[in-house]
Structure 1
Amino acid sequence: MTPTWLDTAEAVDKVFLYIFGISLILLVLITGVMVAFAIRFHRSRQPQPKEIPSSCLWLEITWTLIPTLIVLSMFWYGWQGYLSLTNVPPDALPVKAVARQWSWSFVYPGGRTSPELVVPAGRPVRIAIVSEDVLHSLYIPAFRIKKDAVPGMTTHVWFRAPETGTFDLFCTEYCGLAHASMITSVEVLSPDAFADWLQKPQPEAGLAKGRQLLEQYGCLACHSLDDSPRVGPSFAQLVEGQKRAFAQPPDTSQKVDRNYVQRSILDPASQVVQGYAAVMPAYGEKIGEQDLQILIDFLLQTADSSAGEQPTATETQP
């Protein structure tokens, strides 16, 4: 029978421990027999070789039947675990995971978004995984789940967190230059705390909304707000009126203004800052006009407010 929706970690661990236990027993048994035979039939004990029968029916039946039963038992445990991983409980919370170079975004019923996967303890969660660009893979080791995010299709996985806490979430499919930075967390809250978080309104404008959009669109995976080096230039250097030099087109420069920031978001390959590679994906079809203008306001205001506190440079762009 199909298990009654075992937790994913329990389903995987049962199969792993069973196969590991069988393998350990076989290792000890086979090694022991080898050592015993090496001692028993050593030349010093058996100076004269003895004839060995050409066949032994009971022995052949034994070493065929027992391994077959062991392998079939492994298959049975594996099949039960597979059913637990693929049969989603009907009360599972639906969450959409959006993968992009090089960040995650999670969308909840009602439209709330978060750069971290926030879930309630004790309730199953069904994740629909999509990719906006290349292959990615969602991996949460604490709950023993891993599923590829494939462009053009939706994949699914589910898990249930038994208790509150914070757990790592990785991308385990190489997806480009900043693949190692595609890390976020799973925040497991109590059911009441999760309900409060889900109903809490998100900012609609202003700096708080701008910061939330940076996280939602994955900008902070490659750009910093504090001038620390990353794959792309720091947003702290995006000071309006400053001139910056480009490697593409060669030997060109431009002052920072709203038009420049907008073009850098929608078509970043058109002007590539010196010292950086042209790896940023274009957001022309991925970001709405309202979100775009809020982002531009946030970037220019944040850079201007920090211009007097941090050293500035001209060879940067968003």
Structure 2
Amino acid sequence: MTPQIQTTTQAVDQVFFLIFGISVVMLIGIAAVMVYFTVRYHHRRHPQPTSQVRSHLLLEITWTVLPTILVMAMFYYGWAGYLALRNVPEGAMEVKAVARMWSWTFEYENGRASERLYVPAGRPVKVHLVSEDVLHSFYVPAFRIKRDMVPGMDNYVWFIAPAPGSYHIFCAEYCGTGHADMITSVEALPPEDFTAWLAEAKDQAPDAVELLRRHGCLGCHSLDGSRMAGPSFKGLYGREKRVLSEGRERTLVVDAEYLRRSILQPKTDVVVGYPPIMPDYEGRIPEDELDAMVEFLRTLE
């Protein structure tokens, strides 16, 4: 890791410990003075007020100047920490994080995609944040980064994984019923291992389950028959379903055409009993990937 780069962890921790330290000193100091005054000027010792002091210029200057210095110091270090969080070091590797209800996909410049964020340890990484549907928030506690993901708005975070290991990623913005399931991880690898992973199988087509996971389908639909936000994929093909089409209820048989339509234009036929929360995928899924997903769903019994 480049020693002169201040990491996001260092930037946030310095400000936190400064403010925490000032707060502790103030707490102890104020509490000690309160206890002293309570004992020293107890009403049994002084049943009648005796002080005739109307003002104390030095005291008034002190409690004006000292808090001002403390607040300005906290502002300065807070601003410096904020700039460290927003100024991405040169040579940072770039990755796009795509959030949707309720899954993550991380896309690399060579076209590779993964449901986990693989990075080289010790190197700055810039993550472009994209939301496909509602508000999400990219949160990695280990690196002290949390940034909202607003549909249609460009945003980013950066970090350095100090050592190989696994670090949790959460969605920190309530985004619906599956919000708690939006958990994945940063997988920091030694640089040589990451280079091998990035090049591995980049020319091979992903399997259908990986495609379903990549496009967020498994965030709402199960493969084992369990009920989630959307109907389970297990045994779906060939069954009759009651759907709402343009406000009217009808029965249809799940075939390949219906599956394609439900992926690309999910609000056309909404299965009765489920909310119409699935976003449109028209123009967002390559045709070969769509064909692979539909074919897989046809065989899932």
- 2:292 is aligned to 294
Distance 1:31 1:81 in 2: 31
Match of 1:243 among 240, 255, 269: 240
- 2:38 is aligned to 38
Count of aligned pairs between the two proteins: 298
Distance 1:218 1:90 in 2: 32
- 1:165 is aligned to 165
Match of 1:271 among 269, 272, 280: 269
- Post-superposition Cα deviations, 1:90-147, rounded to whole Å, max 9, x if no partner, equal 1211111122222221111111111111111111101111222222211111111011
- 1:210 is aligned to 208
Q: Give structure 2 stretches of 5+ with no counterpart.
A: none
The 3-state SS of whatever aligns with 2:207 is: helix
- 1:62 is aligned to 62
What amino acid maps onto 2:188 in structure 1? V
What amino acid maps onto 2:176 in structure 1? G
Q: Is the 8 A contact 1:225 1:234 kept in 2?
A: yes
Cα–Cα, structure 1 residues 255 and 221, in superposed 2: closer, same or farther, change >3 Å?
same
2:100 maps to 1:103? no
- 2:19 is aligned to 19
Identity of aligned residues (%): 51
Distance 2:142 2:36 in 1: 42
2:112 maps to 1:115? no
2:72 maps to 1:75? no
Q: Is the 8 A contact 2:223 2:234 kept in 1?
A: yes
Distance 1:223 1:104 in 2: 15
Distance 1:156 1:52 in 2: 61
What amino acid maps onto 1:14 in structure 2? Q
- 1:311 is aligned to none
Q: Is the 8 A contact 1:117 1:187 kept in 2?
A: yes
Q: Is the 8 A contact 1:5 1:84 kept in 2?
A: no
The structural deviation recorded for 1:202 is 4.0
The structural deviation recorded for 1:204 is 4.2
Distance 2:203 2:174 in 1: 34
What amino acid maps onto 1:112 in structure 2? R
Distance 1:271 1:152 in 2: 26
Q: Give structure 1 stretches of 5+ with no counterpart.
A: 308-318
Distance 1:291 1:204 in 2: 12
Match of 2:282 among 259, 281, 284: 284
The 3-state SS of whatever aligns with 1:232 is: coil
- 1:199 is aligned to 199
Q: TM-score, normalised by structure 2?
A: 0.93
Cα–Cα, structure 1 residues 199 and 178, in superposed 2: closer, same or farther, change >3 Å?
same
